[in-house]
Amino acid sequence: MICVTIGRGRHSSLTEEWEAAAKAGTDLVELRIDCLRRDPDLKRILKQRPTPMVFTIRRGVDGGLWRDHEEKRLQLLREAIALGVDYVDLEQDIAGKIRRFGKTKRIVSYHNLKTTPVDIQDIAEKSDELDPDIVKLATSASTLADASRVLHLGVTGKFPTIPIAMGEIGVFTRILGAKFGAPFTYAGFNPERVFAVGMLQFPVVKKDYFYNQIDSKTEIYGVIGHPIEQSLSPAVHNAAFRHLGLNKVMVPFLVPGGDLETFFHELLWLDIKGCSVTIPHKEAIVSFLQQMEGAVERTGSCNTVVFDGDGRRIGHNTDYRAAMESLEAAMGGGGGGEAGDDSEVSSPLIDKQVLILGAGGVARSIAFGLMRRGAHLTVTNRHDERATGLAEEIGCRMVTWSQRATSI
């Protein structure tokens, strides 16, 4: 289930956006009452409920906009429960002050906007003692280890738990919580109103990640890189998985340069089946492989890692294969052998003059493929030293960036 968060300054705007969210097919709506600029009229707001709802009044210290007296906030929460809201969000420090009443379900929440505490497990267990129906834990994550520890709370929790590692590095926790029993995840509805760093928009969660189809048997795949926000891999792969009827999901893992070992160590428990690899890791990841195909050995670059049943990491280079097959098809067909194998090939690229702009992982893969097919290759890059290094490694010509327009 996906819970859309809505917060507006006016009562009329709040109810209008709630109705729009209902028409868009949302399962559940969180109303952020703290965003209202006037005293909330609960009877007016709750008169017509187009969807089930979570009633929330978030304080400033927890990332909200409530600036009035705390006792007034507590009274509004009690009134909402008396009016029969579906869910009420109660921060950990006030949950003991507000009794259970009627059919309203209690979300006992903990927010930390600065860090992920070392004792987050103890904090989660404290929530278990406060009569929750659901436990929500949202902390700011600065490392993969932080995000991993938060997500794991969904496995160890006594009650259904919504684990959220805030920030771009924790985006995957917002999706994978479903695999570990989270009753729902939070998503934005209006792109102009972002309520938490890393919160995804409703259409993305629903259509790019197929969140409502994720269950305990869903296999996990990832794309790793830095930056990673721009990657289309999750949307493309997840659409393909659903089209083929496969219970799999791909999520983004923000892995800073030099953190590959941390990634493999901290997220081992997720049983990830495979990863796409992008900047800046295509070359660095080769040293973490236990097995690799010929194209990886030749190019020193890997863009796909498959984890076999024994936990071995097997590297592939589909950049190489895709580029060669596409170029040869465009020029009238390829020659002898699959683009990724080690056999000699006869190719329409033989004796062709080719200029490559760039010297990164993809450029390396294409350069090796072109040289192997007998092309006359020239490489250039904005940074001369990178182009020089690649040219010396594969034995081709290099020109400076300023010479690129007249080099062939």
Mean pLDDT of the chain: 94
Q: Rounded to whole angstroms, how far apart are CA atoms 136 and 159?
A: 10
List the catalytic residues: 111, 136, 282, 319
Q: Determine the CATH number of domain 344-406.
A: 3.40.50.720
CA dihedral in degrees (136, 1, 9, 110; nearest 10)? 0
Cα 403 from chain centre: 40
Residue 233 amino acid letter: S
In the prediction, which pLDDT does 361 show? 80
CB crowding 310-342: b at 16 or more within 10 Å, else e: eeebbbbbbbbbbbbeebbeeeeebeeeebbee
Yes or no: domain 2-216 corresponds to CATH 3.40.50.300:
no
Does residue 52 have a cis bond before it (omega within 30 degrees)?
Answer: no
Q: Specify whether the CB–CB gap between 211 and 183 falls below 8 A.
A: no
Domain ranges of the chain: 2-216, 344-406
Measure Cα distances from 79 to 90, 206, 311 in Å.
Answer: 13, 33, 54
What pTM, to 2 d.p., does this model score?
A: 0.89
Strands 53-56 and 87-91: parallel
Burial of 352 (0-12, 13-18, 19+ CB in 10 A): middle
pLDDT score recorded for residue 310: 81
**For residue 139, with 0-12 CB atoms within 10 Å meaning exposed, 13-18 middle and 19 or more buried, which class applies?**
buried
- Cα–Cα distances (Å) from 201 to 185, 189, 197, 279, 398, in that order, read 11, 6, 12, 25, 45
pLDDT at 332: 81
pLDDT in tens, the chain (408 residues): 999 999 999 999 999 999 999 999 999 999 999 999 999 999 999 988 999 999 999 999 999 999 999 999 999 999 999 999 999 999 999 999 999 999 999 999 999 999 999 999 999 999 999 999 999 999 999 999 999 999 999 999 999 999 999 999 999 999 999 999 999 999 999 998 889 999 999 999 999 999 999 999 999 999 999 999 999 999 999 999 999 999 999 999 999 988 999 999 999 999 999 999 999 999 999 999 999 998 899 888 899 999 987 879 999 999 888 889 999 999 887 554 444 444 445 789 999 999 999 998 889 889 999 998 999 999 999 999 999 999 999 999 999 999 999 877
